[in-house]
Chains A and B, each alone.
Chain A
């Protein structure tokens, strides 16, 4: 059974810092991995989707990497801003399925 773990559970950093969020999964036979952002009282916003054949994806200040063989992904946020404060979730899908298996998330707070 696929299990997804995110470390750390919570993180508080001063504005301007570069930071790394970690995601690990137990079954390397994934189809894709996606990072989401969740703001309080709101739904999930997709940030980056990495296909199983890819190693990384970039969007603005965000960079996500994927190492399937070791069952890990990282989300790198450069020059963090208070507006980045949110919960970040990673989710994987397995080949031939459509359901996301989510991690428990990392609650990020960027202090001004």
Chain B
């Protein structure tokens, strides 16, 4: 079946430009996560949605980063006034159930969007 898809796969932006990254989770998955992976590092948590509700945005590095999931399916991560330090791979993941607590579940990851800010 279809997995998590992300678009674009690659994005080159000039410093100061706004970008929007899209994530299509697995159909019916309740939870959606965004992670940022710098070169040579492990992914770092950015934000978490349960359906359309953004329950945790503690990992967003600055107020230039904004994420939404208005209808509880597709999500968009927007970065305003991009800086060179924003260059990274942005990974989206989804899981079937509501995340936390006593539920053992796997997050399914998309291929990522590689963002390069010049």
Which residue on chain A has the smallest CB distance to residue B111? A43
Which residue on chain B has the smallest CB distance to residue A41? B111
Q: Check if A99 sits within 8 Å of B45, measured CB to CB.
A: yes
Q: How far is the CB of A62 from chain B (nearest CB, A)?
A: 15
Q: A42-B111, A43-B91 are in contact. Are A98 and B42 (CB under 8 A)?
A: no
A96 part of interface (Cβ distance < 8 Å): yes
**Bound Cα distance A16, B91 (Å):** 33
Q: A43-B91, A44-B91 are in contact. Are A102 and B44 (CB under 8 A)?
A: yes
With a 10 A CB-CB cut-off, give which of B31, B42, B48, B114 has the most chain A CB atoms: B42
Q: Tell me the dominant secondary structure on chain B's binding face.
A: loop
Which residue on chain B has the smallest CB distance to residue A91? B42
Q: A91-B42, A96-B101 are in contact. Are A43 and B109 (CB under 8 A)?
A: yes
A49 part of interface (Cβ distance < 8 Å): yes
- Which of B33, B91, B109 is the one whose CB lies under 8 Å from A99? B33
Interface size in chain B (residues, C-beta < 8 A): 27
Q: How far is the CB of B107 from chain A (nearest CB, A)?
A: 7
Q: A43-B91, A43-B109, A43-B112 are in contact. Are A98 and B40 (CB under 8 A)?
A: no
A4 part of interface (Cβ distance < 8 Å): yes
Measured between beta carbons, the chain A residues less than 8 angstroms from B111 are: 41-43
Q: How far is the CB of B1 from chain A (nearest CB, A)?
A: 15
**Bound Cα distance A36, B91 (Å):** 14
Measured between beta carbons, the chain B residues less than 8 angstroms from A91 are: 42
27 sampled A-B residue pairs with Cβ under 8 A: A4-B42, A32-B104, A36-B109, A41-B111, A43-B4, A43-B91, A43-B112, A44-B109, A45-B109, A46-B106, A49-B104, A89-B42, A96-B100, A96-B101, A97-B100, A98-B31, A98-B33, A98-B48, A98-B56, A98-B100, A99-B45, A99-B59, A100-B35, A100-B45, A102-B43, A102-B44, A104-B40
State the A residues within 8 Å of B (CB): 4, 32, 34, 36, 41-46, 49, 51, 89, 91, 96-105
